[in-house]
Each structure stands twice: as structure tokens, then as C-alpha cells.
Structure 1
Amino acid sequence: MGKRISFIGCLLLGICCFGMTVFAADEQSAEENEEQSNALVELWIHTWGEDGKRVDGTEKLTFDVYDLTSWREEHGGDEKEAKEFLLNTYSTKEKMAEFIQEEQFVKWNQEELGVDGGGNVSFDVPRLSGEKDAAYLILASGETGKYHMLPIILYLPQKHPETEEEAKRLLIYGKYKDVSTPPISSSTLPTETEERSSERSAPSNLDGSNATGKNYPSTNDLIRNYTVLGALLIFIGLLGFKKIQKKK
């Protein structure tokens, strides 16, 4: 009887210990999830050039940060694909502004984010957005020269390339585009009349074929054909002359 009571007591004690362990694990997991949901990632943007000098016209740069998470979820893909698509499709500030208005992106920063005397600006962004991995579109403004800073597309999390640990602080170097080169104007494009004229006067290639793909005999072929024809006529004339002499 005493052994049974001891066995039952040990069993109950084991169950209690197991329950306390599970409860502690659940509590720790909940704390980790809460900590992750409130986690921030520090961004440090350096706006000077690769030569370590300030880029002309960027002394008063300011930044606006937009939440790109919903767009990321909708379109899929990775950060590289998003950069290529957005920078190629919305290549100017005007087009990017229209894109933001159409998608109704929410601006994250309430205060102005301006660079300091060393061309740097730093701020924190939430690691998650609506319990999903956050994504951000960061736009610069205030350029007064011919160089405009390209938009920054950032997908979180970012991992250290060597340790594979999630980075909590990111250093971003700005890249620029020279906007002083004017785009190709419509006046430089050929008109319909010019296109027809160029088609009619298409230059010939060395093999005797023109740009339309049709083959024509070259000048040398024509001369060679006339020479053979002349020789044939002379030969026929000589035969006729000999026949006339025989008849006489």
C-alpha cells in the first residue's frame, strides 16, 4: 500500500514539473513573439560618394519612408526583383510619386528626416508590419544639382553574410543618377515620309542584295551577260557569211 502511494506521489510530482516546464516555455515563447513584434531595426544612410566626398547638390537631403509590406505580399519575389522592377518602371521622381499615390502607401515617418553635416541620417523602423516581415520604400528629396539619389527598397529581415544572423543595424550607401542628360526627343525620330524615302533608297550590300532582302544581279553580272550575247551574235554572223560565200 505504501509503495502505491509513493508511486502515485512521484507520478503527480512528475506531471506537475512537466506542466510547469511547458508553461514556462509557452511564456518564454510569448515573450519572444512580443519582443519580435516590437523589435526595431536601425537604419543608417550615408549619402556621400564612394570617394568619401559630398555629392554636389545633396547638402539638404531629406527622406520619406513608406510601408511597402502589402505591396511585397501582393507581388511576391525578393528584394532584388523588386528593385529592378520599381527602378525600371518608375525611373523618375514624378513617376514614383504617381506610383505612391496610386498604391496609397502610408508614409511611416511623421517628422522630417534630414542629413547631418557628415551626410548621414539614421532612424529606426519596425521589424514587422502587421505581424509580417516589413518592407520599406525610402525616397530622397531636396537635390539641387544634376545628381538625384535613387530610391531605396528594403526587405526585412536582412542577414549577416558570414554569420547568417539577423542584422539589427543596417548601413546603406546612397546611389545616384545623373539627370542632366536629356531624354531622346520626338524630333529626332524619323518621320513617316523619311521612312518611306529610306525604304525606296535602301543601299545595296556587297553580295548584290538590298536591305529589303530581295536579290538583284550586280553590275558585274550584267556586263558579263552582255559580253556573252555579243560573242554569240558575232559567231552567228560568221557562219552566215561563210554559207553565202559557198553558194557563190
Structure 2
Amino acid sequence: MNIPEVYSYEEQAINTVVSVINRAKEMLGDRQTLKQLANSRDVYAAPAKVNLSRLEPPLAITSRDLIADTIEKTWKLTNLFKYSLKYKGSSKDECLQYFYFEAIFSQPTVSYPIPQATASAFFRVQDKLIEPPEKRGVPKMTFRVEGHHIDHDIRHVLLPADWLLAVIMMKVKLYSRIEKGNALCILRAPGEHGSNVGFSSGWKAYPLNPSVPPTHDGEATGTLALSSATSPAY
């Protein structure tokens, strides 16, 4: 799916302000280190919406509890969706250790108790390994919506329901196109004339008009409900 990158309005505003201020400082001769540039955004960011101080060993368990609490109480997504949260494993390198989670959102109905389409949000918890415990601070947690290319800091960015609904609707439209394309077919029983069977988009078979006799001179042998399909000549 080709889903455009999505930023919240608050995030866009902060990025714009920080970019303008940093450029102004550079033009005035105020050179900043890479660390200062990296931390400049934190000065103008709004207070944290999600407190990560609850993240402590074992991170695989405390992170899962925090994500579930955020989805249900902070983002209030359970008002519109059912969801399941899965632990996807961990990895590490020389400096950091990562823990991965996937939250799968859906909207089951009476007609479709098994949802036709779902939308996922992927969470990553990042813990430092090169600093002593007393200086590490809290781990960092980010999330990314399925099909997007931006990692969002869970402390400052809310996950709106519209992002998930957009993914679900795109999937439903895609599945509908595939189903309609597969439905445009005509079957003929071997050895029998005029026994063609057409398929509607709902995959219900129906016979062609039996009152029209089969011909052998290139004319149609019956009438189809699908206007784009015609019976072959014999």
C-alpha cells in the first residue's frame, strides 16, 4: 500500500518552529553541537502524554502493560476498535536492546464477526546497554502505523483512530477489486451446448437464459447479468 507519511498537526508545528530557530542561530553564528541539535526539539515539545517511568525490568512485561494501558485509557481506541497485542521478540546490538510489539486493530460486526480487514500499529522499545543503570534514564518507545514510514514518540504523539480507519478502508477497497476481478469469468460444461454458467460478484452461479437456443454461427448463446461478459461462439 502506498500510504503517504502522516504527521499530527502538533508535530508539524513543533518541527517547523525548531527548524526556523536552529537556522536563525546558525545565521547569527551560534554553532550548535550535534547533541544540542538533537535535543533542541525537546525544549519546545509539549509535556509528555505518556509517562515512561513505569518501564523497568523485565521490559518485555512492563512494556506490554504500558502499551495496553495507553491504547485503552490514553488513546481510547477501544471505543471504536477491538484489538489484540502480541509480543514479537527482541534483538540487540553493541549499544542497544530492542523489544517489539504489534497491536492489531479491527472492527468486527454481527454480519462479519471475523473482520474483513485489520490495521496494525508496531511498537519498539529501545533500551541502552552502554550506560550504567543509574544514568540510563527511561527506555525510549516509538510506534509506527502499518503502511507508514514515520516512527512516532509515544510520549508526545497520539495515535488517532482516523489513521487506523484509513488503513482498513484501503484494504477493504483492495479486496473488493480483487474479488470483482476474479468474478468476471464464464464456465462451460464439457460436451453440452448452452450450458454456460456465469458468476456474479457475490460468487453465486446462475444459468444463462435457456430460452435462447445455442447457435454455431458466431451469435451469443444466452444473456448474462454481467454486462462485461458475453458467451463465446461455437
TM range (shorter): under 0.3
- Larger Rg computed on CA atoms: 1
Bigger RCO of structures 1 and 2 (CA < 8 A, at least 6 apart): 1
TM-score normalised by L of structure 1: 0.20
Q: TM-score, normalised by structure 2?
A: 0.21
- The structure richer in helix per residue is 1
